[in-house]
Amino acid sequence: MRSERSSWGLRVAAYLGVAFLHIPLLLIILYAFTSEDRTYTFPPPGLTLKWFGVAFARQDMWAALWLSVRVATVATLIALALGAMVAAAMARARFRGKDSISLLITLPIALPGIVTGIALLSSIKRAGLEPGLATIVIGHATFCIVTVYNNVVARLRRLSPSQLEASQDLGARPFQTFRYVLLPHLATALLAGGLLAFALSFDEVIVTTFTAGAEQTLPIWLFGELFKPRQRPVTNVVAILVMLVTLLPILLSQRLTQGHEEMDGAGKST
Amino acid sequence: MTATLTPPSIPSLAVELRGLVCTFGTVKSGTVKSGTVKFGTVNAVDHVDLEIRAGEFYSLLGPSGSGKTTCLRLIGGFERPTAGQIRLFGQDVTGQPPYARDVNTVFQDYALFPHMSVLDNVAYALTVRGVDKATRNKRAGELLELVKLSAFASRRPAQLSGGQRQRVALARALVNTPKLLLLDEPLGALDLKLREAMQTELRSIQQSLGITFIYVTHDQGEVLSMSDRVAVFRDGRIEQEGTPQDLYEYPRTAFVADFVGGANVLPGALVGRVGGRFALRPERVEVSADGPGLNASITSVHYLGAQTRLELDANGVSIHALIASSRKFTPGQTVNLRWDAADLRPLED
Ligand SMILES: Nc1ncnc2c1ncn2[C@@H]1O[C@H](COP(=O)(O)OP(=O)(O)OP(=O)(O)O)[C@@H](O)[C@H]1O
Ligand SMILES: [Mg+2]
């Protein structure tokens, strides 16, 4: 069959593409186990597990991880509340300029992080806020809202208004309609949007450098660690950790929205 | 809850609409003075007065866009009237939200909840009223039995056929025994055979439960066979109201004569009267190859099975006639038309 042969060529191209994307990741994992601590010679002279011990013994690593978890959790919660509310408002409202508003809401995800960062920094200064946990959270929430918003808007579009009417018609109060009809309809979209938001926040560097002040989230700690000459493989160990924490939610959220085709905003540019 | 005798306190009127107006467009409700229509707005319902008796099977009939759905949505509470009053069983409900009205609706797209089982869908009205699980499942089971879907209780709506969904929607709307049921073209999506079966079923359910039904459709055949009374809508107004026989036999306007049963609307001069227009049912037109009567030529012949429809031209006026298919005519043939003078119904202008 002809299609068989052409798909063979395509398959090679696909494998090459995947290899190009993933070989660097595999190298990172490999060098977490190297016995040589300064240069990345290939192949590694020997393999060891000691860097895991070294990394886990670092108090500053744990502090950075804890901060990242707190930031990502709070930013996700804010994104869930605000993103869902904005989506609900936009789904119901009919007004002029609605498309522009919708664009404005989704813009932060397309905006280069450096622009968002500078803008936030100057606003924070003007407002007289002390950089810290709160300002990091605010920065992350700007783009986390978008993932929730996009997921919920897409899901609301598939809700026929007669379902909400049917619920009211059968005697449900507004809260009951929310609880029994709207929430189940949105549940997986909210979960998927929330997981994506968490992953985005957890590995964000650029915006964070502008809003963090003296605080160190895990990616920023990692970034600083890269320039220290000794114990390089420690950064690889932590990188694996970051990969796991961000990859799992993304995979999960992809599963949740399977067949819904609404993984908008899964990637943040720069 | 056994009501063997209807208590005299129950009002005999289920629905009263008084001067009901519903305007869509840029004008906000309340700013429209009665009688004036501003540019860019449409009175989907335009000064409708209607009385529906308790226990009636009442139909709203009319062409697309004539305001039937809007009228139904006003009664259900999904639209706010621009002007006028809605009374249900003697109570003014004009400003009340849907959940406060003792009215349920069977939606055109059924609007079943996709994430719930069929049983949970049917039990919904009881769930939101806080009825305990055992009681509500028992009651929902009874309703599923009524619509012959007991075997499907645990399925999701997506796993049902169109006709089965329609029955679930009906069972769900009946589970808390509302006093009034609104149905918006509930059979629109079904094929002809199923449609006819459901018509009979709907009618018998309505009669056995004694619930008032308001039924919206644009299918005049459906209306004639099921309804106690019918209101014919045109451009948001009621053109004529009455029993199916009234509408069919005594149409008051050319619009009703044409829309209900497709009557001929003929100028008085043609049928030997002075002025005015007259309705004449196609099956009351006698066609013969010779003999006295109005001279006409056949323009086309449409075989419909038991009957054949003839399109005729008489002095430039087109007339159609329904005749038994056993009689043969060919296009171009000249024939004579006769009718009983009593079958000519004078129409208002
Ligand atoms: N939400 C709305 N906004 C603006 N105009 C509307 C709205 N709903 C209905 N209309 C208009 O009101 C008029 C009556 O509509 P309605 O839906 O009541 O007609 P209908 O008799 O039910 O027709 P159909 O048989 O096609 O369902 C139409 O001209 C329609 O365009
Ligand atoms: Mg309609």
Q: pLDDT, tens digit, for every residue of B52-81?
A: 999 999 999 999 999 999 999 999 999 999
What does the pLDDT look like over B1-27, one tens digit per residue?
A: 444 555 555 568 889 999 899 998 764
CB-based contact, B10 to chain A, within 8 Å: no
Write the DSSP string, B216-252.
EES-HHHHHHH-SEEEEEETTEEEEEE-HHHHHH--S
* Cα angle for residues A73, A79, A85 (degrees, 5° grid): 145
Query: Does ligand 1 have an atom closer than 6 angstroms to the CB of B68?
Result: yes
**Of the candidates B97, B111, B176, which has its C-beta nearest A160's C-beta?**
B111
- The pLDDT of residue A160 is 85
ipTM: 0.80
Domain extents in chain A: 59-269
Considering every ligand atom shown, identify the ligand nearest to the alpha carbon of residue B78 and give its number.
Answer: 1
B4 lines ligand 1 (CB under 6 A): no
pLDDT of residue A41: 73
The structure tokens listed for B80 are 């706010």
Say how far apart CA B51 and CA B189 lie, in whole Å.
Answer: 29
Nearest neighbour of A171 by CB, restricted to B76, B107, B129 = B129
pLDDT score of B33 more than 60: no
pLDDT in tens, B81-138: 999 999 999 899 998 999 999 999 999 889 999 999 999 999 999 999 999 999 999 9
Q: Does B76 touch chain A (CB under 8 A)?
A: yes
- Measure B234 CA to ligand 1 centroid, in angstroms: 12
Question: Ligand 1 centre from B69 Cα, in Å?
Answer: 7
Type of residue at B212? T
The model's pLDDT over B321-346, given as tens digits with 9 standing for 90+, comes to 999 988 888 898 899 998 988 888 88
Q: Closest ligand to B44 CA?
A: 1
Q: Do A173 and B128 touch (CB under 8 A)?
A: yes
Listed residue (B48, B220, B189, B26) closest to B106, CA to CA? B189
Nearest to A63 by CA among A178, A269, A212: A212
CB < 8 Å to B103, chain A: 169
Strand-by-strand arrangement of the B277-280 sheet: B264-267, B277-280, B345-347
pLDDT, mean of residues B197-211: 90
By C-alpha distance, which of B209, B152, B219, B151 is closest to B184? B219
- Which of chain B's residues have a Cβ under 8 Å away from the Cβ of A160? 109, 111
How close is the nearest chain A Cα to the Cα of B106, in Å? 8
Average of pLDDT values for B191-217?
A: 90
Instruction: Say what the pTM is.
Output: 0.77
A102 CB-contact burial (10 Å; exposed 0-12 / middle 13-18 / buried 19+): middle
Ligand nearest the Cα of residue B61 is 1
Tokens of B336: 């004579």
- Residues of chain A found within 8 Å of residue B106, distances taken between Cβ atoms: none
Cα(A208)–Cα(B347) distance, integer angstroms:
80
User: What is the rounded distance in angstroms from the CA atom of residue B172 to the CA atom of residue B121?
Assistant: 6
8 Å CB contact between B281 and B251: no
Q: Position B58: which residue type?
A: Y
Over the stretch A12-46, which tens digit does the pLDDT of each residue have?
999 999 999 888 888 888 888 888 777 777 777 77
Q: For position B118, what pLDDT does the model report?
A: 96
**Inter-chain CB proximity A169 and B76 less than 8 Å:** yes
pLDDT tens digits for A61-84?
A: 889 999 999 999 999 999 999 999
DSSP annotation of A181 reads I
Share of chain B above pLDDT 90, in %: 61
B60 alpha carbon, closest ligand: 1
Long-range Cβ pairs for the range B298-306 (8 Å, 24+): B298/B329, B298/B330, B298/B331, B298/B332, B298/B333, B298/B334, B298/B335, B299/B331, B300/B331, B301/B329, B301/B330, B301/B331
Cα Rg for chain A, rounded, in angstroms? 22
* pLDDT of B116: 93
- Could you read off the pLDDT tens digit of each residue along chain A, which spans 270 residues? 455 566 888 889 999 999 998 888 888 888 888 887 777 777 777 788 888 888 888 888 889 999 999 999 999 999 999 999 999 888 877 777 788 888 888 888 888 889 989 999 999 889 888 888 899 999 999 999 999 999 999 999 888 888 999 999 999 999 999 999 999 999 989 998 999 999 999 888 899 988 888 888 998 888 888 887 777 788 888 888 888 888 888 888 888 776 554 444 444 443
B246, B281, B278, B250: which is closest to B263 by C-alpha? B281
Residues of A engaging B, defined by a Cβ cutoff of 8 Å: 160, 162-163, 165-173, 176, 180-181, 184-185
> How far apart (Å, rounded) are the C-alpha atoms in residues B195 and B183?
14
Average pLDDT over residues B159-188: 92
Using alpha carbons, select from A224, A185, A217 the residue that is nearest to residue A203: A217
Residues 117-146, chain B: which have Cβ within 8 Å of A?
124-125, 127-129
DSSP of B322-335: EEETTS---TT-EE
CB A195 within 8 A of CB A250: yes
Residues constituting chain B: 349
CATH class entry, domain A59-269:
mainly alpha
B104 closest CB neighbour out of A160, A169, A181 = A169
Q: Tokens 């009442």 — which residue?
A: B58
> Which strand (E) or helix (H) includes residue B299?
strand B294-303
Query: Whole-angstrom Cα distance, residue B255 to residue B172?
Result: 37
User: Over the stretch B279-332, which tens digit does the pLDDT of each residue have?
Assistant: 999 999 999 888 788 889 999 999 998 899 999 998 888 999 999 988 888 898
Given an 8 Å threshold on Cβ–Cβ distance, is B105 in contact with A169? yes
Only one residue has tokens 């009228």, namely: B71
Q: What gap in Å lies between CA B91 and CA B102, rounded to an integer?
A: 11
Strands B334-338 and B294-303: antiparallel
Query: B170, B127, B162, B163: which is closest to B145 by C-alpha?
Result: B170
Within a 10 A sphere around the Cβ of B68, how many other Cβ atoms? 27
Q: What is the model's pLDDT at position B276?
A: 85
Identify which of B105, B109, B117 has the alpha carbon closest to the alpha carbon of residue B176: B105
B113 contacts in chain A (CB < 8 Å)? 163, 166-167, 180-181
B157: closest CA of chain A, how far (Å): 13
The verdict on a CB contact (< 8 Å) between B98 and A168 is yes
Contacts with B91 (C-beta within 8 Å, 6 or more apart), sequence order: none
Q: Do B99 and A168 touch (CB under 8 A)?
A: yes
- DSSP H helices, B128-213, are 133-146, 162-174, 192-209
Residue B226 has pLDDT above 50, yes or no: yes
User: Is B128 close to A180, i.e. CB distance below 8 A?
Assistant: yes
The answer to whether B176 faces chain A, any CB pair under 8 Å, is yes
CA distance B307 to chain A (A): 42
Beta bridge partners, B279, equal B265, B345
Q: What is the pLDDT of residue A266?
A: 41
Q: How far is CA B36 from the centre of its chain?
A: 28
State how far residue B182 is from chain A, nearest Cα, in angstroms.
10
- Nearest CA distance, B224 vs chain A (angstrom): 28
Please report the sign of the dihedral spanned by the C-alpha atoms of residue B66, residue B69, residue B73, residue B78.
negative
Q: Atom 26, ligand 1: which residue's CA is nearest? A: B64
Question: In chain B, what residues touch A188 (CB-CB under 8 Å)?
Answer: none
Whether the CB of B69 sits within 6 Å of ligand 1: yes
Which residue is closest to A170 within chain B, CA to CA? B125
Q: Ligand 1, closest atom to CA B70? A: 18
Largest pairwise CA distance in chain B: 77
Which ligand 1 atom lies nearest to the CA of residue B60? 21
Determine how many CB atoms are found less than 10 A away from the CB of residue B302: 11
Q: What is the DSSP letter of B33?
A: P
